[in-house]
Amino acid sequence: MKPTQAKAILGDSEIQLDCWTMQRTGSDQYLAPLEAIENISITSIRNAILKHQNYHWGHEVRPRNWPRSKLLIEQAPPDLDCILVTRTPISEYDEDYSPAEPIEFRVTKNGEFLVRSEFFANEYVEVEELIKLARPYLSRNGAGLAAIDYEGSGSQIYYFIDFWLSERGNTLGHAYRIAEGLIDLVHCFLGSPINQDIAVDILRSGKWQIFLGQPESPWLEVKSTPYRLEEETEKYELAKDICSMANSKRGGIIIIGMKSRKRNGIDTIDQITPIEKGWKLTARYKSIARNYIYPAPEDFDITYLEHNKKCILVMQIPRQQEEMKPYIVYGANISSKVKGSYFSIPQRNGDATVASSPAAIHSMLAVGRALLRSKNPDHRSD
C-alpha cells in the first residue's frame, strides 16, 4: 500500500491525516491512534510538524536526516514536537483517557525525525549492554542507534532508546513495529520469555546466555553438535527437523551449539556448546533440504554467528505458504535404518518432532479430494 501524506493546517494546531485530524494535547505533543497514523509517510509528518513550527513560532528549522556517521550520544536533541501513540481504535478514542504506548515519534530542534522506545527496569542496566543488544537489531531493520538515556535510580529506572531510520518510502506504522520489536528484545534480555520474532536478534547480539532456561517449543529446536552427515540416518534426521518446522504454523529455528535436558518433562536449554565453523557444512545442509524434502522449503537460511571467538549455527525456516503443505521427507527411519521407498510427514508437537499418523495423512488426502470435487462437480474418482 502506498504511504499517505500528512498535511499541516496553518492557523490551527492541527495536522490533517487521511482519516483523522491530529490535534495538540499539550504544548509540544500530539496523541493519535496507531490505526490513524499507521500508513502515514515519515517524511510528510515531519514536514507538517516543521511547517507548523515555522508558521506559529518562527522557528526556521529545515528538515534533515540524523547524521549516520555521528557517534552515539547519551541524549538526543530536545523536541520541537512529539507524537504519542495509542492502540485505542479510532471509534473508541478519547483524548483524555486513551492510554499512550511506550513508543513515540519525535521531531528534534535540529529538524531530525527519531523514534523513541521506552522501557522500565527494576535495576540498573549498563548502557554498553543495551548498545550491544540494540545495534544489530536496528541495523537488520534499516535503522540506527541515535541516543540512549535514562532517569531514576534503584528499582525505579526508565530507559529511553532513540533511533533513526531511512525515511524514503517508510511509514509511521513500520517505524512503530521496529520500536515494538526493540522493546520485546530488551524485555527478553531482562528475563521475559523469548518469542520467535526476536530470537535471532538476540543470537546476533551475542547474548546467547539469554537462551539458558528457555524450553524447546514448536518453533525452537537445539542440538549440541552438528548432524553427522556421513550417516544416512543423520541426513534423514536433519531433513526431518527442517521439514517439521516447515509444516508448523510459523516456521521455526534450529540452533546447533546449545544443549538441552529434560526439566519437568520438557527439553530445556541448559548449556552453550560452541562448534567449529565449517562452510562446507552449510552447503551440505542446504543440499539435503533441497533433495530430501518435497517441496523444498522457501527462503531456508543458514548462518554462522560468532561471539568471543566462539560459534553457533542457526537454521531459519520461515513461515511457509499453507497451500504448499504438507512438506514431505523422502524415506522413513525404520529399525534405525532409512528406508528410501517410504515417506514421512514430520510435525512439531510441543518440543518434539513426530511423524503424522496414517489417520492424519488420510484426512489430508480426503480433504484435498473433496476440494477438487467441489471445484469440479463433474470430477469422479475412479
Number of domains in the chain: 2
Q: Which residue has the cell 565453523?
A: 277
- Separation between Cα atoms, residue 109 and residue 128, nearest integer Å: 27
Among the candidates 192, 226, 244, a domain finishes at 192
Give the Cβ contact number of residue 49 at 10 Å. 27
- Separation between Cα atoms, residue 205 and residue 101, nearest integer Å: 26
**186/299 same-domain check:** no
Q: How many CA atoms lie within 13 A of 357 on its CB side?
A: 4
**313/270 same-domain check:** yes
**70/179 same-domain check:** yes
Instruction: Work out the burial of residue 265: count CB atoms within 10 Å of its CB; fewer than 13 is exposed, 13-18 middle, 19 or more buried.
Output: exposed
Among the candidates 162, 192, 222, a domain finishes at 192
pLDDT in tens, the chain (382 residues): 678 888 777 666 788 887 788 887 766 788 889 999 999 999 999 888 888 777 766 667 777 777 766 666 667 777 778 888 999 988 898 878 888 899 999 988 888 899 999 999 988 989 989 998 999 899 989 999 999 999 988 888 999 999 999 888 899 999 999 999 999 999 998 888 898 988 999 999 888 999 999 999 999 999 999 999 989 889 999 999 999 999 999 999 999 999 999 998 899 999 999 998 877 888 999 999 999 999 999 999 999 998 888 899 999 999 999 989 999 998 777 767 776 677 889 889 888 888 777 777 777 777 777 777 777 766 555 5
Residue 198 lies in a domain: no
- Are 282 and 166 a contacting pair, CB within 8 Å? no
Cell of 354: 513426530
The residues with which 143 forms a beta bridge, in sequence order, are: 165
Backbone angles phi, psi at 58, to 5 degrees: 70, 20
Cell of 8: 499541516
Q: What is the CATH number of the domain that holds 359?
A: 3.30.950
Residue 205 lies in a domain: no
**171/75 same-domain check:** yes
Give the Cβ contact number of residue 222 at 10 Å. 23
Q: Which helix (H) or strand (E) holds 239?
A: helix 232-247
What count of residues does the chain have? Answer: 382
**138/225 same-domain check:** no
pLDDT at 10: 65
Residue 271 lies in a domain: yes
Among the candidates 126, 158, 192, a domain finishes at 192
**179/249 same-domain check:** no
Instruction: Print the domain residue range for 316.
Output: 211-382
Residue 139 lies in a domain: yes
Pairing state of beta strands 103-108 and 143-153?
unpaired
Q: In what order do the strands lie in the sheet with 252-256?
A: 220-223, 252-256, 310-317, 301-307
- Are 254 and 222 a contacting pair, CB within 8 Å? yes
- Separation between Cα atoms, residue 18 and residue 254, nearest integer Å: 43
**161/251 same-domain check:** no
**175/47 same-domain check:** yes
pLDDT at 52: 79
Query: What pTM was computed for the model?
Result: 0.77
**146/62 same-domain check:** yes
Residue 202 lies in a domain: no
Q: Which helix (H) or strand (E) holds 284?
A: helix 279-292
Instruction: Work out the burial of residue 183: count CB atoms within 10 Å of its CB; fewer than 13 is exposed, 13-18 middle, 19 or more buried.
Output: middle
**372/332 same-domain check:** yes
Residue 199 lies in a domain: no
**143/253 same-domain check:** no
- Separation between Cα atoms, residue 274 and residue 259, nearest integer Å: 10
**302/158 same-domain check:** no
Question: 27 by DSSP, 3-state: which?
Answer: coil
Cell of 161: 532508546
Residue 287 lies in a domain: yes
Question: 208 by DSSP, 3-state: which?
Answer: helix
Q: How many CA atoms lie within 13 A of 242 on its CB side?
A: 33
Q: Which residue has the cell 540512549?
A: 148
Residue 203 lies in a domain: no
